[in-house]
Amino acid sequence: MHLLQANNLEGYANGDTPCSSKTTGSGDASQPNPAYKFWCRQDNHVSLALLGSYSPDAQIVVSSTTSSTGAWQKLQKAYANRSHARIMSLKERLSSITKGTSSVHDYLRNIRSIADELALIGHPVDDIDLVIAALNGLGPTFREFSASICTLDSPLQFDELFDKLVDFEIFLNREELIHSSVPTTANLANKSSMPSNQGRFPRGPPTMPRKATFDSAENIMVCQFCDKRGHNAK
């Protein structure tokens, strides 16, 4: 449709440029109307241009029409309900989209893709609404960033948000890398400062001498060395 508008031909499709009469004059004075031939030629060009942009299913819908206006009306009737459902689906996706584990770049690119598709079917999304949708889906990791954006004096454009959010993600990744390397460094330092015990103690726990026992029947001491009764090892 944009191509037709650029060439001032959209009237052939929407009916604003009606067909001219075949003849001019009346009775014996009637003669072919050049404007009619011109209109037919232009209408055929518009029909071919539209047909080339249709999907295979849409081409079947308009195959029996004889004018670009008839084709356009058939398409509107056939796809009106389907288009309405598509609009609702896209708006639902935009309101519930979350960043999750994806990168900021991929997350914002998905939002822009949804907005572009809505604009193509005649329902463009305001830039401020895009910014709000993007901030709502970031998650708690970006809570500080979202709060700072909401305190700005002037509303932020989506393209500006894109640049600032990518920079903030780089900052978070750098901070996470620094914090994750600190425990490893500390552990290595502790290991290097610990004294070596090699050679100071024999392997395994030291053996302890057995205690003397008593014969429970006669309460007589039993030697822990030779197992004879009446004395101990000492």
pLDDT at 53: 77
pTM value > 0.75: no
pLDDT one-digit tens code per residue, 162-202: 888 888 888 888 888 887 765 555 555 555 555 555 544 44
> How far, rounded to the nearest angstrom, does the alpha carbon of residue 188 sit from its chain's CA centroid?
40
Q: What is the DSSP letter of 66?
A: S
pLDDT at 111 exceeding the cut of 90:
yes
Q: What is the DSSP letter of 198?
A: T
Q: What is the DSSP letter of 140?
A: G
Average pLDDT for the chain: 78
pLDDT at 108 exceeding the cut of 50:
yes
**CB neighbour list of residue 163: distance below 8 Å, 6 or more residues apart:** none
Residue in 158, 148, 157 with CA at minimum distance from that of residue 111:
158
pLDDT at 147 exceeding the cut of 70:
yes
